[in-house]
Structures are given as structure tokens and as C-alpha cells.
């Protein structure tokens, strides 16, 4: 008889080995893990809810903080335009203590105070507050403008030392005018001369 023919006729007898029931259990687990992964979906949904809740809480927290900051700014602006010099001073000091970021609206208000306030102490405190942002071009330009227009000696000296501290060479023209003005106090002139020397170096 032909060997192949014999084997094909008895094919089932060649498949006599049997897998154990232990292996069946192993296979069931493998099949479930590979093709029927349900728990992961639930885990993902669970994590999504946690992330959503965290975002919500963070949003509320940020919202409350923003509202607080807006309230503080409102109070500050009110103080800066108060009739009382003492209240205006208080506002300028609180700005100096609490603010680290440049707020354009507040800076413009301070610059206005620098040019228009009737109180010398308020102006001096304003200059100190503005010097917190030495790289701000608006502040630098307005200090030079104020230097040219200012008549109160103590404020002049403060402005002179400020432009010297900032090494603002553009202030040399204003300093020269101060030195040449016959009405300038001698102590102011000598401060201007010192600043001029400093800027020329």
C-alpha cells in the first residue's frame, strides 16, 4: 500500500495527543486579556472623570484668585486717585510691596502722579515704585521728561539719582539744562554734575 494513502486514511489516529484542561484555563485567560479587555475602558473613563473634577477645582480656584486680584486693583486705583496725600502714599506703598508684574494701567496712573501730584513725598514714593521696572521704556522716558519739568528740589534730586542709577544717557541734555538754570538750587546742580560724570563714563 502507498504510504501517503495509508497515512491519509488514518489521519485522525495521528492526532492522538490531547491538550490538558489546565492549558484550557490558561488559554481562556490569554484570550480574555488579548481580545476582551473591558476593565481598561472603565479605568480610562474613571481617570477622565478625575481629570475633569481636577480641572473644575483648579478653574474655580483660579477664578476666585482673579476676582480677588481685581478687587485689590480696584481698591489700589481708588487710593491712587484719592484726595488725601496720605491715602495716595498708602496706595503707592502697597503697589511697591504687592505687585511683581507690570500692570500698564497702574504704571500709567503712577506716571500721571509723577507729573501732576502736588505732594513731593508722593512723587518721591512714585519714583521708587516706578524703579521696580527699570527696563520699562515708558517709565524711562517719563523720568527724563519729569526731570526736565520738575521744580521741587528734593524731587529733582530723586529724579537725578534715578537716571544715574538707570545709566540713562538720554538724560544728559536735561541734566545740562538743570546745571545751566540759574534758579536751580546749588545742591541740585552738584547732584546733576555728579550724575553727568557718571553717565559719561
Q: How far is the CB of 69 from other proteins (least distance, A)?
A: 55
CB-nearer residue toward other proteins: 19 or 50: 19
Asked if 7 interacts with other proteins (CB under 8 A), we say yes
- Where do the H-state alpha helices sit in the chain? 3-9, 11-14, 21-35, 39-80, 85-98, 104-116, 120-130, 137-149, 153-165, 172-180, 186-200
Q: Is 126 exposed, middle or buried (0-12, 13-18, 19+ CB in 10 A)?
A: buried
Asked if 50 interacts with other proteins (CB under 8 A), we say no
Residues 17-36 that bind other proteins (CB under 8 A): 17-19, 23-24, 26-28, 30-32, 34-36
The number of C-alpha atoms within 13 Å of 32 and in the hemisphere containing its C-beta is 9
Asked if 6 interacts with other proteins (CB under 8 A), we say yes
Q: How far is the CB of 39 from other proteins (least distance, A)?
A: 15
- Over the Cα atoms of the chain, what is R_g? 40
Could you tell me how many residues of this chain bind other proteins (CB under 8 A)?
A: 27
Q: How far is the CB of 20 from other proteins (least distance, A)?
A: 9
Asked if 46 interacts with other proteins (CB under 8 A), we say no
CB-nearer residue toward other proteins: 11 or 182: 11
Check: CB of residue 137 under 8 Å from CB of residue 121: no
Amino acid at each position: 500500500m502507498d504510504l501517503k494513502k495509508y497515512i491519509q486514511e488514518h489521519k485522525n489516529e495521528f492526532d492522538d495527543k490531547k491538550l490538558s484542561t489546565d492549558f484550557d484555563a490558561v488559554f481562556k485567560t490569554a484570550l480574555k486579556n488579548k481580545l476582551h479587555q473591558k476593565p481598561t475602558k472603565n479605568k480610562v473613563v474613571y481617570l477622565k472623570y478625575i481629570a475633569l473634577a481636577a480641572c473644575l477645582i483648579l478653574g474655580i480656584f483660579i477664578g476666585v484668585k482673579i476676582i480677588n486680584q481685581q478687587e485689590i486693583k480696584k481698591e489700589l486705583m481708588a487710593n491712587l486717585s484719592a484726595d488725601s496725600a496720605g491715602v495716595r502714599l498708602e496706595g503707592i506703598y502697597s503697589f511697591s510691596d504687592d505687585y511683581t508684574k507690570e500692570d500698564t494701567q497702574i504704571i500709567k496712573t503712577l506716571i500721571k502722579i509723577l507729573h501732576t501730584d502736588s505732594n513731593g513725598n508722593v512723587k518721591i514714593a512714585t519714583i521708587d515704585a516706578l524703579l521696580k521696572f527699570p527696563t520699562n521704556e515708558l517709565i524711562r522716558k517719563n523720568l527724563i521728561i519729569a526731570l526736565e519739568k520738575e521744580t521741587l528740589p528734593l524731587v529733582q534730586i530723586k529724579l537725578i539719582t534715578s537716571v544715574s542709577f538707570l545709566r540713562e544717557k538720554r538724560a544728559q541734555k536735561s541734566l545740562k539744562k538743570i546745571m545751566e538754570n540759574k534758579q536751580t538750587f546749588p545742591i541740585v546742580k552738584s547732584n546733576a554734575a555728579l550724575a553727568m560724570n557718571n553717565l559719561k563714563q
